[in-house]
Amino acid sequence: MQVIRPIKKSDFSALKQIAIESGHGFTSLPVNDEQLSDKISRAEISFNKAATNPGDEGYLFVLEDTHTGEILGTTAIEAAVGLNVPLYHYHKSKSVHHSKALGVYNTVEVLTMCNDYTGASEICTLFLREAHRKGLAGRLLSRVRFLFMAQHPERFSDTVIAEMRGVSDEHGHSPFWEWLQEHFFSIDFPEADHLIGIGSKGFISELMPKHPIYANLLSEKAQAVIGQVHDKTRPALSLLEKEGFEHRGYVDLFDAGPTVESRLSKIRSVKDSLSCQVTISDNAHSDAVYAICNHSVSNFRATFTSELSYNVAQNLLAITPDVAKALNVLEGESIRFINLT
């Protein structure tokens, strides 16, 4: 069975392999032993913390095959971004240049650097290893975060964002960054990507242009990728759009990938998820597949299964002994679930 749980120290080797496989542009998992160890330690502290409001917590989950012990992927939530280290974006807006006397009316796209998402919660670090991308595992990794947030809303902001990886080639070269590099920097995109991943963000405020940038002054290649996602990121973006996330003009400083957002209470999986008590039965079965999780924080468990049946009148969910074991729940305890298909 595939089960999502909080990461632990013994997962370090698996996390490092995932960081290697994730490639350029996946800045939340740098290939750096110290940084990865720090992420695991911070997650362990966060899951064991009695938080009553969003702060500097980072919840990092892994997807494990309980039969083999193999770690298949990761997913994460940052409770509140930009509190300790500024979170920069460009915001796209329009500037109108109009002269009635000359009969000239031009609309120009402008990129302005900002920190508008300070304090927002961020869903991030979703990566499923390539051999396991068929089936519903990716969908579970995406939506399980919303089940966790729905169960523990006091730990998160009302604004939830997701930064989507922008366009870069197989060598990690970003058309948007190449323009910035030519005019303002002397480091290539993979190096800038690495610095961001290990938390060295001081060069952003030191070297980034302080004034708004007229997009039509950028190269054609750079203009073409503003707000566009990497091919490998399209499925993740599609899932988030189905959840109600929208792009409102914010893009990444380095690859111009879009940031999408939603109110926590408006996210589909938050609104539609149900919480109820469980009963354990050998005969539980459904024609649909559901994502299901327990109510714990430090001992959080989630999986997907059709081995359940829901009694609407009694608000009671029957699950099989195997599912109960995977979720660490007993008869009469509570769970949260949602239709995954």
The residue type of 226 is I
In this prediction, what percent of the chain has a pLDDT beyond 90? 68
What is the pLDDT, as a whole number, of residue 195? 62
CA distance 324 to 317: 11
Six token digits for residue 314: 């009694």
What is the pLDDT, as a whole number, of residue 95? 86
Six token digits for residue 75: 């997913």
> pLDDT band at residue 105, thresholds of 50, 70 and 90?
confident
What is the pLDDT, as a whole number, of residue 204? 61
pLDDT digits (tens, 9 = 90+) for 147-175: 999 999 999 999 999 999 899 877 777 88
Q: Which residues are catalytic?
A: 230
Residue corresponding to tokens 């109600």: 244
| 305-340 as b/e: b if 16+ CB within 10 A | bbbbbbeeeeeebbbbeebbebbebeeeeebbbbeb
pLDDT digits (tens, 9 = 90+) for 81-95: 999 888 889 999 988
pLDDT digits (tens, 9 = 90+) for 12-59: 999 999 999 987 657 788 888 999 999 999 999 999 999 999 999 999
CA distance 276 to 335: 6
C-alpha count within 13 angstroms, C-beta hemisphere, residue 79: 20
The residue type of 18 is I
330 pLDDT above the threshold of 70: yes
Mean pLDDT over residues 106-129, rounded? 93
Q: Measured between alpha carbons, how far is residue 318 from residues 26, 194, 283 in Å?
A: 39, 47, 8
Which of 264, 93, 297 lies closest to 162, judged by CA?
Answer: 264
The residue type of 75 is T
> pLDDT band at residue 61, thresholds of 50, 70 and 90?
very high
305 pLDDT above the threshold of 90: yes
**Residue 54 neighbours by CB under 8 Å, 6+ apart:** 79, 80, 119, 121, 155, 156, 157
220 pLDDT above the threshold of 80: yes
246 pLDDT above the threshold of 80: yes
Q: What crossing angle do the helices spanning 33-47 and 12-22 adopt, rounded to 10°? A: 120
Contact 309, 286 (CB under 8 A): yes
Mean pLDDT over residues 272-282, rounded? 96
Report the first-to-last Cα separation within the chain, whole angstroms: 18
Contact 338, 143 (CB under 8 A): yes
Mean pLDDT over residues 270-276, rounded? 96
Q: What value, to the nearest 5°, has the Cα angle with vertex 252 and ends 162 and 183?
A: 175
What is the pLDDT, as a whole number, of residue 90? 93
Contact 295, 334 (CB under 8 A): yes
Six token digits for residue 290: 């559901």
What is the pLDDT, as a whole number, of residue 207? 60
Question: Considering the entire predicted model, what is its pTM?
Answer: 0.89
DSSP string, 73-121: EEEEEESSTTSSS---EEEEEEEEEEETTTTEEEEEEEEEEE-TTTT-E
Higher pLDDT, 6 or 134: 6
Six token digits for residue 206: 């030191």
CB neighbours of residue 152 within 10 Å: 17
pLDDT digits (tens, 9 = 90+) for 189-204: 666 666 665 555 555 6
3-state SS class at 142: helix
What is the pLDDT, as a whole number, of residue 210? 73
What is the pLDDT, as a whole number, of residue 103? 82
Q: Which domains does the chain have, with CATH numbers?
A: 2-89+115-269 (3.40.630.30), 273-339 (2.40.40.20)
The residue type of 308 is L
Minimum mean pLDDT among 125-134, 204-213, 249-258: which range? 204-213
Mean pLDDT over residues 100-108, rounded? 83
Average pLDDT, the chain: 90
Mean pLDDT over residues 299-303, rounded? 98
In this prediction, what percent of the chain has a pLDDT beyond 70? 92
What is the pLDDT, as a whole number, of residue 177? 82
